Each structure stands twice: as C-alpha cells, then as structure tokens.
Structure 1
C-alpha cells in the first residue's frame, strides 16, 4: 500500500525463475529418474531460468534446489516471496544444491517486475 500511495504503483521484485515446491513424493520421483538428484527432504526446485534475467546472470541453473535464501533456510515458495518482500536492487545471497549434492552460493539482484513479463 505504501508503494501505491507514494509512487502510484506497486513495486514487485523479479528474479526470472520458475519455482516448484518439493514434497517427499516429488523428491522420490525425481530421485528415481535421476540418481544424481540432490539429497534433500525439502526445498524449492528451479525447473526454468529466464534467459537474460537477474537469476541467469547470477548463475542459477535449471534443476537447482534452493535451500537457503538470504541466510534463512527455505522449504517453500511462500517463504522466498516473504523474504524477498519489496527488495529491488538489493543483493540477496542464495544457497542452492545441485546434482551430486554440490552446494553453490549465488548472489542475485532482483529487478523491478514490469507488466511485459
């Protein structure tokens, strides 16, 4: 509401990621299909990274599992949205788990979402 009153519009951050909440059934199916799938019991999977997006520039890859966002462990998309809030232009540290349990730290700078995306 503050943004709407001050700037005449709502400001939302955009990373350029498609996100998928993981549950035990999905994790089990992914593990069966690909034995290199990371050992996780919760997290948020990234099935797609938008070309040219802040996420692509930060080094996110399809198949990454977000396990930590801005220093906080996450298990669902809702938590990521809450942590991100209205942060546009502010770097956020993200820890992802990749195939064969490789941990990678990335820093992404959200851009302002626009109506074209």
Structure 2
C-alpha cells in the first residue's frame, strides 16, 4: 500500500468516525462547523470526501463534539463507551491513570506498563 493510499484510508476512517460522532451528539455537520468557527459546509464537504481538513480544524471539530482527536483515526473507535473511558482516564491524576491502565492490561493478560511511553515490561 502506498503512502497516498494509507493517507486516504486514514482520512476515510476519520470521515466515518466523524459521521458517528455527529450522530451520537444528535446534531448536524452545519452546526458543528459553525461552533468550530468553520464555514457552514466545511465539515459536510470533508465527510463527503470532497475536501480535506487541517489538523487545527479537526481539533476544533473534536472540541465541539467533546471527543478525543486520538480516536478519530482508529476504525470504529467512536463509541459511547470509548469516549467515556477516555474522558475518565483524562480526569485521573497520572498515578491513578497508570494503576487503571495496569489493571486493564492485567485483565487482558498483558503485563504492566514500563516507564517508557506505552512499552511493555
């Protein structure tokens, strides 16, 4: 797969996730765009595959929808449960977030995290 195909696939995932996020919020693309400070059709045109969107504009859209931008590029990541878990982890102090992640990794049969960013011991 070429780099261009990879980027297109990632954009398609983001488009699909944005559709889901908007549906979960029971809003529409025009309202999201307006609240994010974008033109009325900016989000609609991106979702339709007619345009791309800058990272800064995607951040603004995610802030309006109150969803983490890190979920936007992962297939099927925009679910109420994933969003709740992400928000809960963000609200925890670092030491408690680490404990929660270690507990989750234990349940999944994985070892605790080491001191590097996300590396397994």
TM-score under structure 1 length normalisation: 0.27
TM-score under structure 2 length normalisation: 0.27
More contact order relative to length (CA 8 Å, sep ≥ 6): 1
The structure whose residues are more often helix, as a share, is 2
Q: In terms of Rg, which structure is larger? A: 2
The structure whose residues are more often strand, as a share, is 1
